[in-house]
Structure 1
Amino acid sequence: MKMSNEEFFEWSMQRFEQLEDSIEFKSVDREISKIFYHAIIKIKRNYTAIHHLFNGKWENSYIEAIPLIRILAEAYFHLCYIIDQNDQELLVREYKELAELQAYKVARNLKESGTRLLPEELEFIHKEYEGKNKPKSPAHLQFINQLVEKISKNNEGVEYIYTRVYNAFSSYVHFNPATSVLYGTQKEDKFVFNQFEENELLLDELQSHTNGIIILMFKRIFDYLKIQSLKDEFDKYYVEKDKTYKF
């Protein structure tokens, strides 16, 4: 019997707890541990926030989960890349370069803003921007389409998530008048804002995308860390004839 979304969330939180308590998880190579753990906790907290929005106390609160689902997808892409990269020294250097580039851009924008700056902002500009050349960072960490191209061969579902979640939900992250239909109800020839009707099809779609990303994430991590007990627990839900998981 398929789990309800509430049951799947509880199951997932238990798996996160078991994962974090495992020797294999705690023994991740020190070189990449900061990047690896960052990706895991980002996914876990995003997923938790999404779940709360699915069950929010105000009308159609699940709409506000859409940007977070897109962030969840992006974090999953980075986790796949971290796991795929065999050269750990290169991996650490690439993410260090990405952090330096992002800091440079923030400092540059502050410097060019023309606004009155706080002492700590001036210190940040001096440290990250003044007298420095623009840091170089690999394109595949700056542009998600290039990251997806790198990881799609070794990671199940990546291209689907990129097309059906990351790209499709872009217009819900940035202001787009076309998405206004989610924030009201069409009454005959008039659209009324802030009057909501439950959209069960949309909610089901969002829950399906979210649960799918979490399933793929667990599968990838359990295989990577070779945690046999969790792999066995996970595979109990695999339905061979359907080639899918009974979640």
Structure 2
Amino acid sequence: MVRGTAENGYSCVPAFFYMFETLNVGSSYSIMVNKDRHRFVYYFLAFGACIKGFSHTRKVMEVDGTHLHGRYEGMLLRVVAQDTENHVCPIAFCVVDKENDASWTFFFEKLKEIVFNEPDLCFLSHRHKSITNGIANVYNRAHHRYCMRHLGENLRVNHHCGDCLYLYYNAAKAYSLEEFDNHFVEFKNKCPAAAVVLEYDIGFEKWSRGHFRGNRFDVITTNIAESSMLC
């Protein structure tokens, strides 16, 4: 059975949805429409096969968004996971007008209907404030960590520490706290300003594998979310 909702004055269901419900049993969709302009604002979609497949994946969900180019523009939000053989498993998609608190909250609220809020779950993303706010408000029992690669690029651009960035990556990937301390102290000696940001502004638990308090699945970047958007 397909779980579908229409909000904000949207009453008629186009023929597309009837076909969708017939061919994609177990799927979930939700559409929010501006009743004054008769145009949709948000459209969430999760195929039944993807919903079922999530039970066989690692409980690490990588979220990201990308700009849509063309007549209507907007953003495509996406969440993906990996199974035990490292295959990319798309979970849900959402077309929105812009990337802000309202759109990300809508996305996570609909996602919560198929992926439950539990302490074993972890979200991985870049440091967009609306993603952080959405996860904090909707998935308050889950973990949220930052992509190692995005954070490293920010350090390179904003703190000009490209020559010793390898020390940051070594610290981020370290499994033991002793190994982490060795790499981070060396990084701190060479890039003290960047080290202050990592330690105090962001916090070790947000980007360091050794400091993460949940289950470790060897997933520390959002690469698969971005690569799957290019397909």
- Greater helix share, structure number: 1
Shorter-chain TM-score tier: under 0.3
Question: Larger Cα Rg: Structure 1 or Structure 2?
Answer: 1
> What's the TM-score, normalizing by structure 2?
0.25
Q: Kindly indicate whether structure 1 or structure 2 has the higher relative contact order, using CA contacts under 8 Å at least 6 residues apart.
A: 1
Hey, which of these two has a bigger chunk of strand by percent? 2
